[in-house]
Amino acid sequence: MTDAPLSLRERKKRATKAALSEAALRLAADHGVEHVTVEAISHAVGVSPRTFFNYFDSRDDAFTMIDAEIAQRVRDAVEAAPPALSALDAVIEALADELAHVGARQDVWALRAEVLNRAPHLLARSLGAHMADELAMAAAIARRLGPPPDGAGEDGEGPGLYPHLLAAVAGTAVRVAIEHWSRHTGDEPIPAVFRRVCAHLAAGLPDPPTGA
């Protein structure tokens, strides 16, 4: 995510990639994942299979890698956020910006959940991608925070406890916000639900005054 508006070229690339994912999911919902081919997905979007492979390494990536680019943009935004922001606030702002776009594609996300739930190997693949994104996010947060003053991290391998926790909790916050919003769609835009979730987190999760 950058402050500059997206170039036309970048917009077109994102639109093509999104269309390929959506076509893959619709074909899978209609015919079953095992009957979906790269040729059929490409044909549905009006591009060649060669073009498909410019966007995805495999058929299965079209089902599962919708959010890999989003994760990369969020990481870049976290590292580029003003130094005055806490790491938590940097993560919240980056995610809220991306979530503004998710609302417009609720049907695709619902379709994806349906397809993944019926295809365990895709669910496992998606979970693996999510875990890789989480570690990459933890690394971005650790870079933003800088090394501890004594010159040595607490960890020989893997991210420190706080960066790992913040990355994981941010993912959980997004999931809870999306699930809540899916049940109450129309009431409140998704970034607003997400900011309510984050207000609970930033306050240290005290009992809510209303019990709800």
Which parts of this chain interact with a second copy (CB under 8 A)? 86-88, 117, 120-121, 123-125, 127, 142, 145-150, 153-158, 160-166, 168-169, 171-173, 175-176, 179-180, 183-184, 193, 196-197, 200-208, 210-212
CB of 14 to a second copy, least distance (A): 29
Shortest Cβ distance from residue 53 to a second copy (Å)?
A: 24
Number of other CB atoms surrounding residue 148 within 10 Å: 11
Integer Cα distance of 37 and 179 in angstroms: 30
C-alpha distance from residue 109 to each of 35, 63, 159 (Å): 21, 11, 30
Question: Considering beta carbons, is residue 124 or 132 the nearer one to a second copy?
Answer: 124
Instruction: Between 25 and 166, name the residue whose CB sits nearer to a second copy.
Output: 166
Cα torsion for 99, 105, 111, 112, to the nearest 10°?
-40
Tell me the residue type at 13.
K
- CB of residue 54 vs a second copy: minimum separation in angstroms? 27
Cα separation, 185 vs 59, whole angstroms? 31
Q: How far is the CB of 109 from a second copy (least distance, A)?
A: 16
